[in-house]
Chains A and B, each alone.
Chain A
């Protein structure tokens, strides 16, 4: 029954003191919610990401080979123990110009089950000319939608080596689990800034080997990513891959070498064939030329021959004319001879009369003569039978036409010989005649006369024969001449023919020559082309050979998820939240514990009398204490349970949503209850409070009832330290003195209030300070550091004339204030094993850079000038790399080499990293002149309209490939600030709650403790306001002191959070603006004032009769 009464009394107590109960509950709720909630945020972030990754089957391992992966490689990978799935794919980076700007896109081939794309709009591509684009692409492209097409280009125009087509129709929009944030990472082409991914079907690629392979590790999805268990699970497989990759690489290398050599050989053969062809063509041309030359020569010969022949003909004509004349002369002579012979015949006929007389004589002589004549006739017959036909033949031969002179001469000689033989015969005949004469000599007169007559007759006969011969000869000759003339006529005709033919031949030859010249010309042009082609091909072959010789054994990069930039960044952010979670909630927790302790102690003290009474009645200490313990336990437990649920359900979501501005691609936020945190925080909260209660109870319960029944002696007054400083103390008015004494009189209250108010102030300061720090990026980066308003990217392939035109336009355009050419490229800098990306800035005129970028120290404000022996780097980069002035920085140049340079100064900068270098230093380090591919410009007026107009004006120049404005970047930061607002609301609300709970609670205790004193004041005639002032002045002072403490505390917290929370490419502002201090102080005082107002009404209610009562 007694228990029943106590239980009833307990509930009465709770009801009566529900404010106290609620205040314990609330402060515990707050403490536990913050503790469990912020602690849970980090694992919740990881869980949310893990859920997404598992859902989208993000690969666990990705293998990228420097020389691609073959189907065999994939098969081998699939067989590795622990590999659940291997999915090979293609990937390439391309340019795409949209909305007047050149974007770099990463084309990935579609995968079937790994790295699933979340299609937000449309569908996945199906045809080789369809694509799905990154959700951010449509925004960047400024107006493209599903159904539009994009055209991509490769860096070196060898798009065909990689892709089948260059135009794709957008059929869908989606997100990739690869990218949690807006950041898309870097590319090896162009500016190096990857802007979006694009998914195309495998068929769109024309590569013969895969560029990469994604691997899903069996069982890895059971573990939460970022956890050690996950890492271990994946590491086992990646180790196994490491074991085989060398072998696979060797095989790939060998294949490539063989293929390369074969290709080179083929190419070489083609070149030599081509060369042979050229040589043949040349030979043919030379032959042709020779033939034509020969032809000309022949023609010349023929002409000569013709001239000769003409000469011969001419001579022959002359000869013929001469021969005719001679023949004509011969005929005249023959006619004269015939006349002379006829005269002789007459004289002989006279002699014949005389001869008859002498004939007797002659008959005798004739007999003899006949004998001799018979001999002679024999000879003559012989001649006639043998030689006469010969002569006839010869003579006949001579008459034949077309005989050459030689032949004629021969025949003539033979004729002559034969005639000579004939003459010889004639001579024999004469000898015979002489012999006849000799016979006749013996016959004298008759004989003589007959002989003479005979002689005369013989002579006539002879003359007649001779004449006949001569005539025959003449006739023959005439015939000969006629024949000659005939032959000459033929020859002439022949000559005319020859001439005609020659003329024809000349024309033909000229034609041939023309043809040859044409061929030569064709050959000349073609051979020049061919030679260029051949030399190009040769260069190519040399290059290919060199390439092949340089071809290194490929390397497999076995990458796990830590190679994904946003995966790592997200993990780091989760770690940062965890770091904050280790500090932040502890403050709340501490305050909560202290509040509970004070409240419970006060409660127990207030119940002294009751405790005494119960003790006097004989209740045991345990039972008496159990009421208070139960009170504390129920309040704390209720607060804890509510706190764990609210905290773990609400805070992670709010924080992750705030991060969602950065990590926009996190589809769902998970906020499960973490029992560890729930139990831990509940146990800590209840433990603290219960222990405090037990302690307070113990103090009271060990006292004897009689002592408990007597009022506790009031806390005696004491002089405070300040009183010793008489010159201050003396000048304080009375109420101030009282206030100060009171402040220090209740030390517990003092410290707790200061702590609570300080915590409130600190939270506010952190909230507003964070906002300032982020705002600083915009304000200071784009107001103080970056003075330029935009960048123009120059098409460095454009002609010098075009570039000059652009420069002129920049100088003349009214919207542009001034401009500077700069080589701005992305480089990697290295420190031990870590790498960071930075912009290498090489301005054409380093002395002018101050008009575009302020190079100054953040703290001292000293400005720096660029010099030729040092680089200037930005603060965050220096911090990340742990570099100070005078240290050496390593700037990577490609994969293998790096340049070293000394840091000359470290300058203020908040966004990205920059390295400033003079052109002279650049030339010295890289051995080449910088290529000024960008122009920074500043504008007199920056608004959207001016910028749009300027953009279109600039883009009209072919040399300009892109125009971007700084304002868009600062707008992005402004957006980031919006996400901060929710964090700030959380902080301000919690700060307010903290201030309220702390102040209200402590004031409540304070007023209860001092009720008599306050009632006395009222009796003394203090007005309501004065009574409130008397108490609340203390509060104001406490708030003031707490605020000062909070300033320091908040400043430290802010610094801590900023340094832990900021991401690598950013430096948050380190300073909190004065305005934020003022707002924080003002808000703290507003919270305090609200509590004071509540207290004022409570004070009003104090009954003066209290002063009459004895001390309780």
Chain B
């Protein structure tokens, strides 16, 4: 097992008028390949900023962000985009599917641009949408839409699958099903999955739990015995 992500001394300061907000104030953690990681913390703790930095959507002011031995903290512009394009799969809270494209096309939207894509249909079958490939998002339920979103992220065959509150807009059971899917993806396909959530209840299902508070890592632990999703309740 090798280290796929390593953050050290990452800082990010936003200037809101005259006030400086230290959204991320020196974060260090590392994640091993094929791990299911949950980053948990309350609203405003800086977890989204961490995700943005890790996902290549934002840059940090200080520190190192090593992804597969590459320091992406120094990436800017096109290089950063290429990083997002090839190494990151992103699952949004609100799915962010293109309404005008069918499920399959939404997956293809991602596969057409990356270097080593998986077959869109296969991925959709894998996420359990073999019957709904040609449906438009509006014709799909929230869970199904999130599956499409996951399929879209997976189809890129990324190094990291980043999920921002993937169950945030879903009901309890659907949320569970999505978490199961993510966990299964991690286990079966050795995918490194990082889920960001404020819901501490789901933390036990992860291999690694990173807690963030006030822009700092408050605790980081390896869960030797992750719980199956079915057993988690909240």
Contact = CB atoms under 8 A, between A and B. Distances in A.
Interface string B167-200: 0000000000000000000000000000000000
Contact of B109 (A713, A1020, A1111): A1020
A713 B113 CA distance: 28
Interface stretch (B5-13, B76-84, B203-211, B218-226): B76-84
A1104 B59 CA distance: 12
Contacts of A1111: 94
Interface in A892-931: none
A713 to B, nearest CB: 8
B105 A1019 contact: no
B93 A717 contact: no
Contacts of A1018: 57, 81, 84
Interface in B92-121: 92-94, 96, 98-102, 105, 108-110, 112-114
B100 A1019 contact: no
A229 to B, nearest CB: 62
A1019 B57 contact: yes
A1021 B113 contact: yes
Contacts of B137: 716-717
A848 B22 CA distance: 97
A743 to B, nearest CB: 10
A232 B71 CA distance: 92
Interface residues of B, number: 37
B87 to A, nearest CB: 9
A1020 B90 contact: yes
A972 interface: no
Contact of A1016 (B55, B78, B92, B105): B92
Given A737-B105, A738-B98, A1026-B113, A716 B82 contact: no
Contact of A1019 (B90, B98, B102, B108): B90
Interface in B121-163: 136-139, 152, 156
A745 B100 contact: yes
A1107 B152 CA distance: 15
Contacts of B48: 1108
Q: How large is the interface on A (under 10, 10 to 19, 20 to 34, 35 or more residues)?
A: 20 to 34
Interface string A281-310: 000000000000000000000000000000
Interface in A717-735: 717-718, 734-735
A717 B102 contact: yes
A1012 B164 CA distance: 15
A1013 interface: yes
Contact of B101 (A717, A1023, A1024, A1108): A717
Nearest to A738: B101
B86 interface: yes
B29 to A, nearest CB: 21
A1018 B58 CA distance: 12
A10 B133 CA distance: 47
Interface core residue of A741, A1016, A1104 (most chain B CB under 10 Å): A1016
B96 A1107 contact: yes
A742 interface: yes
Nearest to B112: A734
A737 B100 CA distance: 10
Given A734-B109, A1021-B88, A1022-B113, A1016 B98 contact: yes
A907 to B, nearest CB: 57
A1020 B100 contact: no
Given A734-B108, A1021-B88, A1022-B81, A714 B55 contact: no
B85 interface: yes
A1105 B49 CA distance: 10
Nearest to A1027: B81
Interface string A1003-1046: 00000000011011111111110100000000000000000000
B161 to A, nearest CB: 13
Nearest to B137: A717
A1108 B92 contact: yes
**Residue of A718, A1021, A1024, A1105 with most chain B CB atoms under a 10 A cut-off:** A1021
A1026 to B, nearest CB: 7
A1104 B55 CA distance: 11
Contacts of A1110: 93-94
Contacts of B99: 714-717, 1013
B82 A1021 contact: yes
Interface in A456-478: none
Q: Which of A713, A735, A1026, A1104 is the most central at the interface, judged by chain B CB atoms within 10 Å of its CB?
A: A1104
Contacts of B214: none
Given A717-B137, A718-B136, A1104-B57, A1020 B113 contact: yes
A1025 to B, nearest CB: 9
A550 B137 CA distance: 99
A1019 B136 contact: no
Nearest to B86: A1021
A1107 B48 CA distance: 12
B43 to A, nearest CB: 13
Contacts of A718: 100, 136
A741 B100 contact: yes
Most chain-B CB neighbours within 10 Å: which of A735, A1019, A1105?
A1019
A1105 B52 contact: yes
A1007 to B, nearest CB: 15
B55 A738 contact: no
A1022 B80 CA distance: 11
Contacts of A737: 101, 105
Interface of A: 713-718, 734-735, 737-738, 741-742, 745, 1012-1013, 1015-1024, 1026, 1104-1105, 1107-1108, 1110-1111
Given A717-B101, A741-B100, 9 more contacts: A716-B139, A738-B100, A738-B105, A1021-B84, A1021-B114, A1021-B156, A1022-B113, A1023-B78, A1105-B52
26 contacts: A716-B99, A717-B99, A717-B101, A734-B109, A737-B101, A737-B105, A738-B109, A741-B101, A1015-B96, A1016-B98, A1019-B55, A1019-B57, A1020-B84, A1020-B90, A1021-B85, A1021-B86, A1021-B88, A1021-B114, A1023-B78, A1023-B85, A1105-B52, A1105-B57, A1108-B48, A1108-B93, A1108-B164, A1110-B93
> Which 8 A-B pairs give the minimum distances between C-beta atoms?
A1021-B85, A716-B138, A717-B136, A1021-B84, A1016-B96, A717-B100, A1104-B57, A741-B100
